[in-house]
Amino acid sequence: GVQDFDPMIQEVIGRPQSYEVTRAAVEGLRARGISSLNADILYGLPHQDQARMQASVEKLIDLGPDRIALFGYAHVPWMARRQKLIPTEALPSPEARLELFELARALFEAAGYRQIGIDHFARPGDGLDIAQKAGTMRRNFQGYTEDKSPTLIGFGASAISRYPQGYAQNEPATSKYTARVQAGDLPIARGHAFAGDDRIRARIIEKLLCDFAVDFAAIAGEFDTDATALIAMAEGLEDALPGTTERSGTKLSILESARPLARIIARHFDAYEMNESGHSQAV
């Protein structure tokens, strides 16, 4: 969890972690036989500009992680109370966020990493690189994976688990989570049981985020249903987001120029309404 190496940005977000401390940790892990290291870095942080972004990315590349996740900072002060201390004027605009992402992507690719899906990067020959080329990559709450298990169990406060039957989220407050665990209870705060076409829609969204394309006939075969009904789910997409996708038979593809908008495009297939003011940005 690098987030950013700039001391001023680290101070603002309350995550002081110097480059020297991180390098020492990386060297210590490698000295003890850990051969594969993953790292996360964020774009869209308060006071982050292109110069600061480039400096942090170059330092991360110097550490040589095998996989990198480039996540967008989620400003959700209604959920994370500490973020109320961050002035909104310190946050990059949506256009600046996209420019920061594109800068980081260019730097990672110049260093030999391959882009995986919408926000990951890996070295050539990595398991994710192989899975992406084979069309077998999956996505869960942790990001991209080559693991095909339908179950992901989350540990810790606010962690989200996925089961074949639906989702469950742990208590978001550490104090409540700890108290329930110590009492011998399952520390689940809320959940969602799959119903109707939830699983089908989730699979369509996953394919768009993994492959930037979905074959409705293949999904229909996977769920033993009619492809016509699934194709109908795409109605209105071209009007809502013109010039972002193309159709060929039963296949829908996201144009390469529109891939940064993949989350927004995939959202078209989400049957649940979302309050825009209550969620983080999709780009």
Q: Give the confidence band of 243 by pLDDT, cuts at 50, 70, 90.
A: very high
Give percent of the chain with pLDDT exceeding 70.
96
For range 77-104, the mean pLDDT: 90
- 199-278 CATH, one of 1.10.10.920, 1.10.3450.40, 3.40.630.40, 3.30.450.20: 1.10.10.920
Residue ranges of domains in the chain: 7-131, 149-193, 199-278
- What pLDDT was estimated at residue 85? 86
Angle between helical axes of 50-63 and 19-31 (0-180°, round to 10): 20
Residues 6+ apart with CB under 8 A from 158: 169, 170, 171, 172, 177
> What is the rounded CA–CA span in Å between residue 143 and residue 135?
16
Residues 27-56 have pLDDT tens digits of 999 999 998 999 999 999 999 999 999 999
- 7-131 CATH, one of 3.40.710.10, 3.30.750.200, 3.40.1160.10, 1.10.287.130: 3.30.750.200
Residues 138-154 have pLDDT tens digits of 998 888 999 989 999 99
Would the pLDDT of 160 be above 90?
Answer: yes
- Does the pTM surpass 0.75? The reply is yes
> What is the rounded CA–CA span in Å between residue 211 and residue 144?
11
Residues 182-191 have pLDDT tens digits of 999 999 999 9
Mean pLDDT of the chain: 93
Give percent of the chain with pLDDT exceeding 90.
84
Would the pLDDT of 278 be above 70?
Answer: no
Computed from CA positions of residues 123, 127, 131, 136, in that sequence, does the dihedral angle turn out positive or negative? negative
Nearest to 108 by CA among 60, 49, 72, 48: 60
Question: Using an 8 Å Cβ cutoff, are 220 and 191 in contact?
Answer: no
- What pLDDT was estimated at residue 277? 46
Residues 220-232 have pLDDT tens digits of 999 999 999 999 9
Is 199-278 in the same CATH topology as 7-131?
A: no
Among 40-44, 78-82, 116-120, the range scoring the smallest mean pLDDT is: 78-82
> What is the rounded CA–CA span in Å between residue 15 and residue 209?
29
